[in-house]
């Protein structure tokens, strides 16, 4: 792709995980703790199981992202249906605040009992933006500001938190661009408040942060596709994303067996090479 024509891929991840009940204070301590000593024993927490990842970079004739949205969300809906055909387990949709993605989730998961959760890390990033309107960056006051409001957020007191932010703006007499930025932040929280019942999510042991998808974005996309000097055409980028998604999902061996079988059928359609009993080396 030419300079200035950077396009964004859409990446989805589906996994199964056991419930992990926590308190708001435990979450805050995890977010603000110092790096642990190398050999310190940490509390065990459940690991994601059967993790599958898919990335898509497609555009239609109008250069819209509808094609990749359809590809990712229809795949996720298929994964959910395969894993829980009778809806015997709770399904959590965990994303940032992009409304088009939430609309897609409603479209492709109809009739499914879904709990929508706004990613806590994205919500916290908005608290940091608000903190820097009142206090210097990287200051103790800014950290205390975020911790205090994060405590309210994790206790499900979203309306109270938004009201407090408004009162603080009045007390500090914010004006101009600073006030506009705070209003934008408050609107973000208001629009997503129905996805921010973190007190209930923690009681049920639901995941509230998208660490799995953030890690996948780095390993699948950024580490390979955004190296210095790289240029991609859409088809080449999509092929690379597909291969990396297969590897990151732990399906590489199955994929290679599938590819060998398909290549044998293509190269030797009428020969005994298609007999599974006869092992044939394939140079590719």
What tens-digit pLDDT sequence spans the chain (284 residues)? 445 567 888 999 999 999 999 999 999 998 888 665 555 555 678 888 999 999 999 888 888 889 999 999 999 999 988 888 777 788 999 998 888 999 999 899 876 678 999 999 999 999 999 999 999 998 999 999 999 999 999 999 999 999 999 999 999 999 999 999 999 999 999 999 999 999 999 999 999 998 888 888 888 888 888 888 888 888 999 999 999 999 999 999 999 999 998 888 888 887 654 555 555 555 44
Spatial neighbors of 130 by CB under 8 A, at least 6 apart, are: 145, 149, 165, 182, 185
pLDDT at res. 127: 96
Entry field: residues in the chain: 284
Beta carbons within 8 Å of 218's beta carbon, 6+ residues apart: none
3-class SS at 193? helix
CA atoms 175, 178, 182, 184: torsion sign = positive
Rounded Cα–Cα distance for residues 40 and 38 (Å): 6
For 108, the token pair is 């492709």
**Token pair for 178:** 């600073």
How far is it, in rounded angstroms, from Cα 57 to Cα 152? Answer: 38
pLDDT at position 211 = 82
Residue in the block written with tokens 């990033």? 125
Q: Which residues contact 73 (CB under 8 A, 6 or more apart)?
A: 12, 104, 105, 107, 108, 109
In whole angstroms, how far apart are CA 253 and each of 16, 111, 249, 250? 21, 35, 11, 8
Cα torsion angle, 25, 27, 32, 33, sign: positive
pTM of the shown model: 0.84
Encode burial over 73-97: b for 16+ CB neighbours within 10 A, e otherwise. Answer: bebbbebbeeeeeeeeeeeebbbeb
Residue 216: its pLDDT value, please?
A: 85
Return d(Cα 9, Cα 218) in angstroms, integer.
Answer: 12
Contact 167, 133 (CB under 8 A): no
Beta-bridge partners for 56: 10
């Amino acid at each position: 792709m030419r300079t200035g024509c950077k396009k964004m891929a859409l990446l989805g991840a589906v996994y199964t995980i056991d419930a992990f009940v926590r308190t708001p204070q435990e979450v805050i301590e995890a977010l603000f703790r110092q790096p642990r000593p190398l050999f310190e024993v940490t509390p065990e927490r459940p690991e994601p199981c059967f993790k599958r990842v898919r990335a898509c970079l497609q555009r239609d004739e109008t250069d819209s992202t509808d094609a990749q949205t359809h590809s990712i969300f229809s795949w996720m809906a298929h994964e959910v249906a395969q894993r829980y055909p009778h809806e015997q387990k709770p399904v959590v949709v965990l994303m940032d605040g992009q409304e088009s993605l939430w609309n897609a989730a409603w479209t492709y998961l109809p009739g499914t009992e879904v709990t929508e959760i706004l990613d806590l890390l994205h919500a916290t990033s908005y608290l940091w933006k608000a903190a820097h309107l009142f206090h210097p960056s990287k200051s103790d006051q800014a950290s205390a500001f975020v911790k205090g409001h994060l405590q309210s957020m994790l206790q499900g007191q979203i309306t109270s938190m938004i009201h407090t932010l408004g009162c603080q703006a009045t007390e500090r007499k914010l004006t101009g661009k600073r006030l506009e930025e705070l209003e934008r932040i408050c609107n973000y929280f208001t629009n997503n408040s129905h996805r921010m019942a973190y007190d209930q999510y923690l009681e049920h042991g639901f995941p509230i942060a998208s660490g799995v998808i953030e890690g996948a974005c780095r390993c699948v996309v950024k580490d390979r596709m955004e190296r210095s000097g790289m240029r991609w055409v859409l088809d080449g980028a999509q092929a690379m994303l597909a291969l990396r998604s297969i590897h990151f999902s732990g399906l590489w061996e199955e994929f290679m067996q599938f590819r060998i079988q398909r290549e044998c059928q293509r190269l030797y359609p009428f020969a005994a090479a298609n007999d599974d009993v006869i092992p044939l080396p394939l140079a590719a």
